[in-house]
Amino acid sequence: MANWTTVRRIMSVLLFLLAWTILVQFTGQFHQIPTPAAVFAALFQLKLGVIFTEIFRSFVRVLCGFLLGLLIGFPIGVAIGYSRIANYLLFPAVEMVRPIPPIAWIPLTVLFFINIESQIVFLTFYGAFFPIVYNTMGGISEVDIRLPRAAMSFGINRMGMLWKIILPAAMPQIFTGMKVAIGITWLMVVAAEMIASKGGLGYWVWYHHTVMEYPMVILGMGIIGLCGALCSVGIDVIGSHFMKWRNIF
Amino acid sequence: MKNQINTIPEKINESDFVFERPSFLSKIFNLKMVLNTASVLSLFVIWGLLVNFGIYRFVLIPGPAEVLEWGIKWMGSKDFWMDASLSTLRVLGGFTFACLIAIPTGLMIGWNKIFSDLTFPTLEILRPIPGIAYIPIAILFFPWEEASVAFICFVGAFFPILLNTITGVKLIDRDYFRAAQCLGSKPRHIFWHIVVPGALPSISTGAALGMGIAWMASVAGEMISGKWGLGYRIWEAYTLIRYPLIVDGMIVIGLLGLGSSTLIRFITLRLIPWRKAITESLDESITK
ipTM: 0.80
* Chain A residues closer than 8 Å to B117 by CB: 5, 8-9, 12
A107 to B238: CB separation less than 8 angstroms, yes or no: yes
Dump the DSSP string for A49-112: HHHHHHHHHHHHHHHHHHHHHHHHHHHHHHHHHH-HHHHHHHHHHHHHHTTS-GGGGHHHHHHH
A16 to B122: CB separation less than 8 angstroms, yes or no: yes
Domain-located, residue B109: yes
CB atoms within 10 A of CB B190: 16
Rg (CA), chain A: 23
pLDDT above 70: percentage of residues in chain A: 96
* Chain A residues closer than 8 Å to B61 by CB: 108, 111-112
Report helix, strand or coil for B30: coil
Q: Are residues B87 and B220 located together in one domain of the fold? A: yes
Domain-located, residue B66: no
3-state helix, strand, coil in chain A (%, to 5): 85, 0, 15
Confidence of residue A61 (pLDDT cuts 50, 70, 90): very high
Q: Are residues B192 and B271 located together in one domain of the fold? A: yes
Q: Are residues B51 and B99 located together in one domain of the fold? A: no
Q: Is the pLDDT of residue B280 over 80?
A: no
d(CA A87, CA A146): 22
Q: Are residues B96 and B234 located together in one domain of the fold? A: yes
Minimum CA–CA partner of B133 in chain A: A221
Q: Is the pLDDT of residue B2 over 70?
A: no
Burial class (CB in 10 A: 0-12, 13-18, 19+), B101: middle
A88 to B122: CB separation less than 8 angstroms, yes or no: no
Of B153, B208, B130, B119, nearest in space to A231 by CA = B130
- DSSP 8-state assignment for residue A212: T
Q: Is the pLDDT of residue B281 over 50?
A: no
Query: For A8, which of B117, B215, B261 is closest by C-beta distance?
Result: B117
B128 to A103: CB separation less than 8 angstroms, yes or no: no
Minimum CA–CA partner of A9 in chain B: B117
A183 to B134: CB separation less than 8 angstroms, yes or no: no
B224 to A11: CB separation less than 8 angstroms, yes or no: no
In chain B, which among 234-273 make CB contacts under 8 A with chain A?
Answer: 234-235, 237-238, 243, 246-247, 249-251, 253-255, 257-258, 261
Confidence of residue A5 (pLDDT cuts 50, 70, 90): confident
B92 touches chain A (CB under 8 A): no
Of A143, A140, A238, A128, nearest in space to A183 by CA = A128
Q: Are residues B55 and B164 located together in one domain of the fold? A: no
B35 to A15: CB separation less than 8 angstroms, yes or no: no
Domain-located, residue B7: no
Q: Are residues B46 and B106 located together in one domain of the fold? A: no
Burial class (CB in 10 A: 0-12, 13-18, 19+), A7: exposed
Q: Are residues B90 and B39 located together in one domain of the fold? A: no
pLDDT above 90: percentage of residues in chain B: 12
Q: Are residues B125 and B234 located together in one domain of the fold? A: yes
- What pTM value is reported for the model? 0.82
pLDDT above 90: percentage of residues in chain A: 20
Provide the pLDDT for residue B7.
55
pLDDT above 70: percentage of residues in chain B: 86
HSE-up (13 A, CA, CB side) for residue A23: 13
For B56, the domain range is 30-60
* Chain B residues closer than 8 Å to A85 by CB: 31, 35
Q: Are residues B136 and B42 located together in one domain of the fold? A: no
Q: Are residues B169 and B41 located together in one domain of the fold? A: no
CB atoms within 10 A of CB B109: 22
Domain-located, residue B10: no
Q: Is the pLDDT of residue B237 over 60?
A: yes
Domain-located, residue B155: yes
**How far is C-alpha A155 from the chain's CA centre?**
40
Confidence of residue B118 (pLDDT cuts 50, 70, 90): confident
Provide the pLDDT for residue B13.
63
pLDDT tens-digit map of B14-69: 666 656 666 777 766 777 888 888 888 888 888 888 888 877 777 778 888 888 88
Confidence of residue B94 (pLDDT cuts 50, 70, 90): very high
Provide the pLDDT for residue B65.
82
Averaged pLDDT of chain A: 86
Q: Are residues B125 and B35 located together in one domain of the fold? A: no
A9 touches chain B (CB under 8 A): yes
Residues 6+ apart with CB under 8 A from A36: A17, A20, A21
* Chain A residues closer than 8 Å to B130 by CB: 183, 186-187, 190, 224-225, 228
Residue A42 backbone class (left: φ over 0; alpha: ψ -120 to 50; beta: rest): alpha
Please state the rounded mean pLDDT for residues A192-217: 85
Provide the pLDDT for residue B283.
42
Averaged pLDDT of chain B: 82
Report helix, strand or coil for A144: coil
| Cα separation values, A56 from A67, B10, B37, B132, B261, Å | 16, 79, 45, 20, 36
Domain-located, residue B38: yes
A31 touches chain B (CB under 8 A): no
Q: Do B156 and B213 contact (CB within 8 A), yes or no?
A: yes
Residue bearing the bigger pLDDT, B53 or B98:
B98
Residues in chain B: 288
Q: Is the pLDDT of residue A232 over 70?
A: yes
A9 to B128: CB separation less than 8 angstroms, yes or no: no
Mutate to test the interface with B, among A20, A88, A227 (most CBs of B within 10 A): A88
Confidence of residue A111 (pLDDT cuts 50, 70, 90): confident
d(CA A125, CA A68): 6
The C-alpha of A168 sits at a distance from chain B's nearest C-alpha, in angstroms, of 24
Domain-located, residue B65: no
Residue bearing the bigger pLDDT, B233 or A247:
B233
The C-alpha of A108 sits at a distance from chain B's nearest C-alpha, in angstroms, of 7
Please state the rounded mean pLDDT for residues A173-194: 89
Confidence of residue B74 (pLDDT cuts 50, 70, 90): confident
User: Residue type at B24?
Assistant: F
- B250: CATH: 1.10.3720.10
Q: Do A13 and B122 contact (CB within 8 A), yes or no?
A: yes
pLDDT tens-digit map of B165-221: 998 898 888 899 999 999 988 989 999 998 998 888 888 888 888 898 899 888 888
Provide the pLDDT for residue B22.
66
Structurally, how many domains does chain B consist of? 2
d(CA A13, CA A21): 12
Q: Is the pLDDT of residue A31 over 80?
A: no
- DSSP 8-state assignment for residue B144: S
pLDDT tens-digit map of A115-169: 888 899 999 999 999 999 998 988 888 888 888 899 989 988 888 888 888 888 8
d(CA A81, CA A56): 36
Provide the pLDDT for residue B102.
93
Confidence of residue A214 (pLDDT cuts 50, 70, 90): confident
Q: Are residues B41 and B183 located together in one domain of the fold? A: no
B130 to A187: CB separation less than 8 angstroms, yes or no: yes
Topology of domain A55-239, per CATH?
Answer: MetI-like fold (1.10.3720)
Burial class (CB in 10 A: 0-12, 13-18, 19+), A202: buried
Q: Is the pLDDT of residue B226 over 60?
A: yes
Residues in chain A: 249
d(CA A198, CA A192): 9
Domain-located, residue B18: no
| Cα separation values, B1 from A219, B21, B59, Å | 76, 17, 64
**How far is C-alpha B248 from the chain's CA centre?**
20
HSE-up (13 A, CA, CB side) for residue B241: 1
